[in-house]
Amino acid sequence: MTATEADHQNALLSRPKALLIGASSGIGAALARRLAAEGFDLALVARRMPELEALCGELSQAHGIRALAYAHDVQDTAAAPSLLESIARDLEGLDLFVYVAGVMFPHDPDAYDTENDLLTLKVNTLGAIAWCNPVTLRFVRAGQGQIVGLGSIAGDRGRRAIPAYSASKAALETYLEALRNRVTRSGVTVTTIKAGQVDTDMLKNAAAVRGPVSAERAADMIWRAIRLRKQVVYIPGRWALIGWVVRHIPSFIFRRLNL
């Protein structure tokens, strides 16, 4: 007995709905593929429309789900609430929100580039806050829903090579923690993913590459965290231990290390 597409229009059988910000490449695209395989209807948001549309076509073909593409620059924070409204209308609901949009500029020991640093904070942190607020309001009113934000092990300490990136992720993680504490009584889950090195375009800008995991592997682990409604998850898992050690290295040692 297989359900037809018309059956899935019926609210009784409707698929869960997810919204991904920053879905055109890297972890976002991999997670979109994973969620599609799990039977989610998807709204994918990014700046690059051609990539998004290709991905949507591929996913709806392969998994028989609805995948919709929206062009949006997360720096345009004022546009988030109304775009969220129309996305929820197009998807007929929303159950899962994932923010993976992020930038990291290559390390240059001599540069103190304000423009790049501010852009990093705008994309990684301010964009996330602009989206998380209206999404949280919706989820609290619904009494359900899950918010996933992509932090980084770089957010655990101020890293010499990437000050703005470290700060943006640290701010995001603290914001997500506060959000979690704020909504925990309303049945809403907030999950912070603390990613180690993942094999994506961003890795080209890393100062040193230390045994990265593939984007697909990362997406699997994020899906597991979503399914189990985890609060804070390191990917890969061994980074949890490394993260603990890194957090506890005294500053007089840490500032002399090449981390």
Selected binder of another protein within 78, 110, 114, 143 (CB under 8 A):
143
Shortest gap between Cβ of 139 and another protein (angstroms)?
Answer: 10
Residue 108 interacts with another protein (CB under 8 A)?
Answer: no
Question: Distance of alpha carbon 213 from its chain centroid, rounded?
Answer: 16
Residue 11 interacts with another protein (CB under 8 A)?
Answer: yes
Asked whether the beta carbons of 87 and 94 are under 8 A apart, the reply is yes
Shortest gap between Cβ of 85 and another protein (angstroms)?
Answer: 7
Per-position x/- string for 62-81, each x denoting binding to another protein as judged by CB under 8 A, each - no binding: -------------------x
DSSP state letters, 195-258: E--EESGGGGG-S---SPEEHHHHHHHHHHHHHTT-SEEEESTTHHHHHHHHHHS-HHHHTTS-
Provide the 8-state DSSP code for 155.
G
Choose the catalytic residue: 70, 99, 112, 165.
165
Selected binder of another protein within 53, 58, 116, 134 (CB under 8 A):
134
Nearest one of 193, 188, 178, 174 to 135, comparing CA atoms: 188
Residue 185 interacts with another protein (CB under 8 A)?
Answer: no
Shortest gap between Cβ of 76 and another protein (angstroms)?
Answer: 17
As given in the structure block, the two tokens for residue 237 are: 């898992």
165 is catalytic: yes
The torsion defined by the Cα of 189, 22, 210 and 156, in degrees rounded to 10, comes to -50
Q: 88 vs 242, which CB is nearer to another protein?
A: 88
Residue 137 interacts with another protein (CB under 8 A)?
Answer: yes
Largest Cα–Cα distance in the chain?
A: 65
Pick the piece of the chain touching another protein (CB under 8 A) from 11-19, 97-105, 146-154, 208-216. Answer: 11-19
The H or E element spanning position 33 is helix 26-37
Residue 229 interacts with another protein (CB under 8 A)?
Answer: no
Residues labelled catalytic: 165
